[in-house]
Structure 1
Amino acid sequence: MKKILFTFFAAALLVTSAYSYNPPAGGEDLTLIGNPLSLSGAKSVSGGALFDANADSILVNPALIAGEQRVNLTAGYTFLYSANKENETQLGASFQTGILIPFKMFIFSGNMNGTFAQFKEMHLGKSLNLKAGLAKEITDKLSIGLNAGGGYAWTYGNDWSLYADFGALYNWGNLGPFSDFRIGASVLNLGKMYSDVDRWGIDEEAQNTPYPTLATLKAGAAGTILNTEIAKIGLGLDFSVPCFQNFIVDFNAQVAFKDAFIISVGEKFNMAEVIKGKNNFIPSIAFLFKFSFDVKNNQYLEDNGWSQSEMTVSAGYKNLYKTVHAVSAGVDIDLGMADNEPPKITVWDEKE
């Protein structure tokens, strides 16, 4: 074991010594600013403070969707505004849309993201990104998943990306004061990332490096610390190590009232950005409202059991880099109602 650990760390040091680190500010979150939940840190590697998996969950951990039973549709849009008048444009945007489809053998999810931010303090340029994932429950507690992703970036150079992600999720159950305690881990961006484009990096005096960063390791845990008929409170914490070059911490707290109205608050610490003065410790916030709805006189929906479904609408805000403001809105639809009742087993006796 000592030899294995030594070899692992030696390889890591070799990689980091040959690979400088200077992505654009926000480059690690390129696909995570397109909806309110992502902005508030709720898209975590362990499924968020109060677990909720949908088509967008594969952006951080492909294993999160393994237990889903319903077709899910998501869409989100974020308006970006920079107060820095030195920028060539002060307006930007990001969007996300996705679909999740459960099959007997596995769960499939696909996601498309577009990000358009040409701000000097958040110089991501323009890009379109696609990702598709498969997940499966191995046991009642363990799930695994695999993604394939790629995209195209333009503005100040053109480039493409092509990569894979791996992830796992372990449902621990009760642990100390927590219920529904979960541990998640993923390895993201195993392949070619955006490299042949000119961007302002975190260090504006140095050449920018590929982003999102190759071989980003993520690990985290989350659980419910309070669960009553009226309210639930959950806490989540993620750690990210982009190719052993940086250290990022994401904290998320959520409060749900009657499983209908949810408040999500997030805080991020990005060590490289803090060192270069790019940090902003103002927490992000999102509000969600979940409700069920009926669609009548539609035979197709009735045949698929979708005449009654659930929808979540959301809105959020985050002050990204002191001068960049993000205002976001999203919608999440689960077709059909969740089946939470276990099967009923009747034991027949000889008289019957």
Structure 2
Amino acid sequence: MKKILLTIFAAAVFMTSAYSYNPPAGGEDLNLLASPANLSGANSVTGGALFNAGADSIVVNPALTASEQRVNLTAGYTFLYSADKDNEKQVGSSFQTGILIPFKLYIFSGYINGTFAPFGEMHLGNQMNFKAGLSKEISDKLSVGLGAGGGFAWTYGKDWSLYADLGALYKYGSLGFIDDFRIAASVLNLGKMYNDVERVGIDYTAVNTPYPTLATLKLGAAGTFLNTDIAKIGLGLDFTVPCFQNFIADLNAQVAFKDAFYISIGEKFNLAEVIQKKYNFIPSVAFLFKFSFDVKNNQYLEDNGWSQSEMTVSAGYKNLYKTVHAISGGVDIDLGMADEEAPKITVWDNE
């Protein structure tokens, strides 16, 4: 199987030799380092194994937020640590914050990310990134989204990025024994990416190429395989093709107990990094706890229906590469409670 995959990749490289591919390790995941959900693959093109959408969902698919009814606030921080074979220690970090606001015609999301990773094995340097997205439900099953992003990078040169994202999500429903089956696709990075900064690429002997890669296509499917009053189990699989120069697969599995305690496990296979022996197949893991809370004696929150809201706190770990470790924490707040009651329709006659 390994020989077949390597052969396919070699053929693809030969056919597209006009465009080299050598981003820094981790460059394709630049916006996916700053929270436990991102590290564990729960923020996927389909919304994760057990669907969840928030302000940071536009990082992978701007269509994911289309069905959200509540204002969402999110924040995350990841501590990055590296100790190489010579025991040289380095630290870095990544953070994110975002807001989602539902309007009558569309859903708006805004997102800010900062990543500071000076490691030799994951030589991303420093950058600040911004995204905004609009999404809309076309029908009960189909949602679409449009996003725009940009950023500024420094360390070993200065550069900027400006691009657009497109996405779609289709909620199929039940498929045999699978509940909540979903398929999704997105095309990211349609514009100018970071191309004028010196970075150590996957192949350290060659010049690095722009990152994240222009015209990155994502495809995915996910669904719930066990659905009881006590527990749910979901699986999701994403395929990423950065400008048809590489093949990346992300597997996410989630278990939820009483819709309150979640365990999210992720595994990633990046073919180009495996070929260059920059890989680590240790799964990532995240733990999430969701609970409701009340805020009393606040007239503003009461007037907006936010006196009772939901919060999710999370923690996660991922061994990104052989020497790079990520420890992450996050918080996600949905203002108000989800409306799960169907509208009541009263039919009355002329009497």
TM-score of the superposition, structure 2-length normalised?
0.95
Q: 1:9: which partner in 2?
A: none
The one-letter amino acid of 2:132's match is A
SS in 1 for 2:63: helix
The one-letter amino acid of 1:304's match is N
Q: 1:50: which partner in 2?
A: 50
1:182 matches 2:204: no
Counterpart CA distance in 2 for 1:140 and 1:261 is 28
The one-letter amino acid of 1:173's match is G
Counterpart CA distance in 2 for 1:86 and 1:34 is 27
Q: Return the offset for 1:346.
A: 2.3
Q: Return the offset for 1:13.
A: 8.9
Q: 1:194: which partner in 2?
A: 194
Q: Alpha-carbon deviations, 1:239-263, whole Å to 9, x = none?
A: 0000000000000000000000000
Counterpart CA distance in 2 for 1:261 and 1:79 is 23
1:70 matches 2:67: no
Q: Alpha-carbon deviations, 1:58-92, whole Å to 9, x = none?
A: 00000000000000000000000001166986100
Q: 2:83: which partner in 1?
A: 83
Counterpart CA distance in 1 for 2:16 and 2:56 is 30
Q: 1:240: which partner in 2?
A: 240
Counterparts in 2 of 1:330-341, with a 5 A limit? 330-341=330-341
The one-letter amino acid of 1:333's match is I
Partners of 2:13 and 2:245 within 8 A in 1: no
Counterpart CA distance in 1 for 2:241 and 2:87 is 31
Counterpart CA distance in 2 for 1:320 and 1:13 is 25
The one-letter amino acid of 1:266's match is G
Counterpart CA distance in 2 for 1:66 and 1:289 is 24
Counterparts in 2 of 1:131-150, with a 5 A limit? 131-150=131-150
Counterpart CA distance in 1 for 2:185 and 2:13 is 21
Q: Alpha-carbon deviations, 1:96-136, whole Å to 9, x = none?
A: 10000000000000000000000000000000000000000
Counterpart CA distance in 2 for 1:306 and 1:251 is 35
Counterparts in 2 of 1:1-352, with a 5 A limit? 16-84=16-84, 90-348=90-348
Counterpart CA distance in 2 for 1:85 and 1:299 is 58
Partners of 2:83 and 2:89 within 8 A in 1: no
The one-letter amino acid of 1:325's match is H
Q: Aligned-pair RMSD on alpha carbons? A: 1.5
Counterpart CA distance in 2 for 1:241 and 1:22 is 14
Q: Return the offset for 1:322.
A: 1.2
Q: 2:5: which partner in 1?
A: none
More displaced, 172-181 or 263-272?
A: 172-181
Counterpart CA distance in 2 for 1:39 and 1:223 is 20
Structure 1 unmatched ranges of 5 or more? 1-11
Partners of 2:81 and 2:89 within 8 A in 1: no
Judged with a 3 Å threshold, the aligned counterparts in structure 2 of structure 1 residues 207 and 88 are, in CA distance, closer, same or farther, namely farther
Counterpart CA distance in 1 for 2:87 and 2:156 is 14
SS in 2 for 1:62: coil
TM-score of the superposition, structure 1-length normalised?
0.94
Alignment coverage as a number of residue pairs: 340
The one-letter amino acid of 2:80's match is L
Counterpart CA distance in 1 for 2:85 and 2:162 is 35
Counterpart CA distance in 2 for 1:176 and 1:272 is 36
Judged with a 3 Å threshold, the aligned counterparts in structure 2 of structure 1 residues 92 and 68 are, in CA distance, closer, same or farther, namely same
Q: Return the offset for 1:19.
A: 1.1
Judged with a 3 Å threshold, the aligned counterparts in structure 2 of structure 1 residues 15 and 61 are, in CA distance, closer, same or farther, namely farther
More displaced, 81-90 or 31-40?
A: 81-90
SS in 2 for 1:300: helix
Counterpart CA distance in 2 for 1:217 and 1:176 is 28
Counterpart CA distance in 2 for 1:27 and 1:266 is 18
Counterpart CA distance in 2 for 1:93 and 1:73 is 21
Q: Which runs of 4+ in 1 moved over 4 A?
A: 12-15, 85-89
Counterpart CA distance in 2 for 1:32 and 1:113 is 9
